[in-house]
Structure 1
Amino acid sequence: MVTLENELLKASFVLKGAELQSLKSKTADLEYIWDGNPKDWAKHSPVLFPIVGALKDNAYVYHDERYELPRHGFARDMEFELESKSANEVVFTLRSSTETKKHYPFDFTLSLIYTLKSHGLSCTYRVHNPSDTDLLFSVGGHPAFATPVSSGLSYEDYYIRFNQDEGLVINKIADNLISDEVQTITLKDKTLSLKHELFYEDALVMKSLKSNKISLQNKVNSHGLHFSFEGFPYFGIWAAKDADFICLEPWCGIADSVQHNGTLSDKEGIVILSAEESWQRSWQVDIF
């Protein structure tokens, strides 16, 4: 376990998947990250790389070769290196290997950089292409926040407030793929009330979210969080069936559509990174 700590907060991580497993308010003695109860969902905040979501038939074609990848890719299940650590920042790194190239024929360096702030934590995904050819990838966040955080509350006491959206256009999922069907959820005062039934048909997937800041709050007390993100064209909100958490998921990439032809370069949302170039995106959570 690797930790970062200041007067107000303590964050903990593991090398497997460079996963954030705890973000705790020391002053309020409250844990904001889902505890990973395997009865519902055994993860906390996995990184999605080199794909986001599922591939059609769990496979893709690149340069006339067929490769298989599981949903959300492989990085979340691999051991990262502890690249560096300071008082308020830790860097975990995963590099391409003989093993990764069995499923993904690219050279890459993926770094997760966590920086502890006065009242929160930022997570930066940095991808570097060390080769002399293009690197094709997707990357996304999947942090799960406990709901409720404090005792005496229920899931239905919580709501999500969007800073810009009056409604949500949801792209429906069919067999883990993006279908042609869309649904519009009208928000009252830019607010979505949480209920378990929202996720009975899988995640709420959005291609046109305007907001770059989402607040998770409740109707009973003043504890909650602000979740900020920039430069992610897709966003997902998800929880396992009847589980007491909510995932806020900024994505650069999306699951295949039901009509996708299987060619990686034609995949919606794929990022193409030129030789020797680097790319990064960040999200931040501030707790209160």
Structure 2
Amino acid sequence: MLTLSNTYLTVLINPQGAEITSVKDNASHLEYMWQANPVYWGRHAPILFPIVGRLQDNQYRVNGQTYHLTQHGFARDNEFRLWSRTPTSVTLRYASDDQSREKYPFDFALTVKYELVDHQLRVNFTVDNPSDAELPFSLGAHPGFNVPLGDIFNQFTDYQVTVAPKKIYQRVPLVGPYSDTGHPVPLDLTQPLPLDHELFAHDAQVLSLDNHETTVMLGTARDEHGVALTVKAPYLGIWSPYPKQAPFVCLEPWWGLADDVNATGDLTTKVAINHLPAHQQFAAGYQVTYF
């Protein structure tokens, strides 16, 4: 386990999946991150690559060949190599190999840098395409945050999600595990969205952000503790497992989507897929402020 620490926060990163496993306030010892109780969900903050969500029948085609990939891809289950490290930052890297090419026949290097700055953890991703061919991929983050935070007398329903800018967003509905991009639904976020487990009865709330900088705050009026995630991405998922009464919520920046309900299976035409030209680099990231 790798440790980042400053005056305010201590962060633990597991090289397996390059996953954030803990963010604690140094003064109060408050744990912000979900602690992966398998009764509800056995992960903390997986990185989603080379797909986000699920493929129809867990398979896709490239150049007439069929490949199999399970939900959210395989990066989260692989060891990342330590690339560089300081007391307040760490960079980890995972590159294609023979094993990855059996599921995903492309060369790539996925790098994630975590940097602790005051009360904020900054997360930056790069995807490099070292080959002479185009690289189709999706990328996402899936951090889970404890709800309630701090006060043991608080309830899940005492919390709310506040989105800035305040406006009516388009929500991508899910039909089973698949995106129904042809039938977006307006979601009024001019006011805070109260949390309730029923909110996730049809899986995640998926917001279209159109790559505009957006801040999503998770908190309660009952105390001062919460998190604020800022990102510039095409989509953001808000999720807690249903019908489980799980004591956490994930705020998930996505550069990709689950297969559309009308998907053909061709990876190159998959909904929201990124097309990285030969020998080019894709960069993205997000920041979480803990309070």
TM-score of the aligned structures, taking structure 1 as reference length: 0.95
Shift of 1:182: 3.9
Per the alignment, residue 75 of structure 1 pairs with: 75
TM-score of the aligned structures, taking structure 2 as reference length: 0.95
Shift of 1:190: 2.9
Distance 1:91 1:35 in 2: 22
The one of 279, 284, 287 aligned to 1:284: 287
Per the alignment, residue 141 of structure 1 pairs with: 141
Distance 2:47 2:41 in 1: 15
User: Do 2:96 and 2:109's aligned partners in 1 also have CA atoms closer than 8 Å?
Assistant: yes
Distance 2:227 2:176 in 1: 32
Q: In structure 2, what residue type is equivalent to 1:260?
A: A
User: Do 2:169 and 2:208's aligned partners in 1 also have CA atoms closer than 8 Å?
Assistant: no
Per the alignment, residue 192 of structure 1 pairs with: 193
Shift of 1:173: 1.3
User: Do 2:170 and 2:187's aligned partners in 1 also have CA atoms closer than 8 Å?
Assistant: yes
Which string of whole-angstrom CA distances, capped at 9 and with x for unpartnered residues, describes residues 71-94 of structure 1?
A: 110001111111111121101111
Q: Name the Cα RMSD after superposition.
A: 1.4
Is the deviation greater in 167-176 or in 37-46? 167-176
Shift of 1:181: 4.3
Distance 2:277 2:183 in 1: 34
Per the alignment, residue 258 of structure 1 pairs with: 261
Distance 1:96 1:264 in 2: 18
Per the alignment, residue 17 of structure 1 pairs with: 17
Question: Secondary structure at 2:66's aligned position in 1?
Answer: strand
- Structure 2 stretches lacking a partner, 5+ long: none
Distance 2:285 2:177 in 1: 26
Which string of whole-angstrom CA distances, capped at 9 and with x for unpartnered residues, describes residues 185-207 of structure 1?
A: 333x4311111110122111123
Per the alignment, residue 172 of structure 1 pairs with: 173
Per the alignment, residue 247 of structure 2 pairs with: 244
Per the alignment, residue 161 of structure 2 pairs with: 160
Per the alignment, residue 220 of structure 1 pairs with: 222
Kindly tell me the number of residue pairs found equivalent between the two proteins: 286
Shift of 1:165: 3.3
User: Do 2:132 and 2:278's aligned partners in 1 also have CA atoms closer than 8 Å?
Assistant: yes
Q: In structure 2, what residue type is equivalent to 1:266?
A: T
Distance 1:238 1:223 in 2: 20
Q: In structure 1, what residue type is equivalent to 2:160?
A: Y
Which structure 1 residue ranges, 4+ long, deviate > 4 Å from structure 2? 208-211
- Structure 1 stretches lacking a partner, 5+ long: none
Distance 1:23 1:171 in 2: 30
**Residues 1:192 and 1:229: Cα distance change in structure 2 (over 3 Å):** same
Shift of 1:177: 0.7
Q: In structure 2, what residue type is equivalent to 1:257?
A: D
**Residues 1:78 and 1:95: Cα distance change in structure 2 (over 3 Å):** same
Per the alignment, residue 61 of structure 1 pairs with: 61
Shift of 1:211: 5.7
User: Do 1:158 and 1:216's aligned partners in 2 also have CA atoms closer than 8 Å?
Assistant: yes
User: Do 2:135 and 2:277's aligned partners in 1 also have CA atoms closer than 8 Å?
Assistant: yes
Shift of 1:27: 1.6
Which string of whole-angstrom CA distances, capped at 9 and with x for unpartnered residues, describes residues 245-275 of structure 1?
A: 1111111110111111111111111111111
Shift of 1:140: 0.5
Given the alignment of the two structures, is residue 183 of structure 1 paired with residue 185 of structure 2, yes or no? yes
Given the alignment of the two structures, is residue 267 of structure 1 paired with residue 238 of structure 2, yes or no? no
Q: In structure 1, what residue type is equivalent to 2:126?
A: R
Q: In structure 2, what residue type is equivalent to 1:274?
A: P
Per the alignment, residue 48 of structure 1 pairs with: 48
Shift of 1:208: 4.4
Shift of 1:9: 0.4
The percent of aligned pairs where both chains have the same amino acid is: 37
Is the deviation greater in 116-125 or in 41-50? 116-125
Which string of whole-angstrom CA distances, capped at 9 and with x for unpartnered residues, describes residues 139-160 of structure 1?
A: 0010001111112211111111
Is the deviation greater in 78-87 or in 15-24? 78-87
